[in-house]
């Protein structure tokens, strides 16, 4: 992205250079004042993390890209409603989850189909490895919410409370889901079928 793009004026007509805005908090404050450039910097910080996460929630890469675009548009539109008590990433992932769910519902209504495993966007993005990627296993054995909880907890390093907020679930549900998902994946990792013998995935 060119430097010219960053040198824009905000709604108050103030010329700004986001390169000087060091912290996330400062970027958020500038975005709340109407700076597209500051928000674009936030987009740059989060776009890959969000896309990786959305690839597992959406049926195709195109859906994931639509979801990420909607997420950033909604986030910018409602940036003034953002409460700094929350982590910005929690707020952003929450919006992303809502958009992913909305797009999935629209797809299911339009086509009445289940996700096509042959064109799994996650599989396409995984670097070839000697062993199967654990997230592919997780996707097969966990529910969508349980998968998201695991991702947010162990990849995004969110606290249990933040995971619960992002998923809009109770903290107790999140704790139990994380515990059962870990147990299940641990069993899968060691090649046992202890967890699968206990029934369906929780969540």
Partner 1 sequence: MVKLMDNLEKRLKNDASLIKAEVSAEMQERIRASLQSTQPVSPDPKKPESRGMSLWLTSSLTGLAAAALIIVLVNWNTSIETNGETDSMPSVPSLSEQIPFPLSAETVEWTAPLEEELRNLQSDLEKARENVERDLRESF
**Binding residues for partner 1, per CB under 8 A?**
1, 5, 31-32, 34, 36, 39-40, 43, 47-48, 51-52, 55, 65, 68-69, 72-73, 76-81, 122, 125-127, 129, 133-135, 138, 150-151, 154-155, 182, 185-186, 189-190
Other Cβ atoms less than 10 A from the Cβ of 151: the count is 20
What is residue 9's DSSP assignment? E
Q: Which residue has the tokens 């997780």?
A: 138
For partner 1, the closer of residues 7 and 108 by Cβ is: 7
CB of 135 to partner 1, least distance (A): 5
User: C-beta of 159: minimal distance to partner 1 in Å?
Assistant: 15
Contacts 24+ apart (CB under 8 A), 43-50: 43/72, 44/1, 46/89, 46/92, 47/72, 49/89, 49/156, 50/92, 50/93, 50/96
Cβ proximity to partner 1: between 96 and 170 the closer is 96
Q: Which is nearer to partner 1, 79 or 164 (CB)?
A: 79
Instruction: For residue 95, give both structure tokens.
Output: 């919006």
């Amino acid at each position: 992205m060119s430097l010219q793009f960053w040198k824009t004026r905000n709604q108050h007509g103030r010329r700004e250079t986001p390169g000087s805005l060091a912290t996330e908090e400062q970027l958020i404050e500038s975005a709340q004042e109407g700076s597209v450039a500051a928000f674009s910097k936030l987009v740059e910080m989060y776009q890959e993390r969000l896309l990786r996460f959305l690839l597992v929630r959406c049926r195709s890469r195109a859906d994931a890209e639509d979801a990420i675009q909607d997420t950033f548009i909604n986030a910018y539109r409602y940036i003034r409603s953002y409460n700094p008590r929350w982590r910005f990433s929690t707020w952003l992932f929450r919006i992303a989850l809502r958009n992913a769910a909305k797009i999935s519902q629209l797809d299911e209504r339009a086509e009445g189909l289940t996700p096509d495993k042959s064109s799994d966007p996650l599989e396409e993005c995984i670097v070839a490895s000697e062993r199967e990627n654990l997230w592919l296993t997780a996707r097969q054995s966990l529910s969508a919410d349980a998968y998201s909880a695991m991702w947010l907890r162990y990849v995004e390093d969110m606290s249990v409370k933040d995971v619960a907020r992002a998923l809009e679930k109770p903290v107790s549900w999140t704790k139990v889901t994380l515990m059962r998902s870990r147990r299940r994946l641990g069993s899968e990792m060691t090649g046992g079928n202890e967890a699968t013998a206990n029934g369906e995935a929780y969540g």
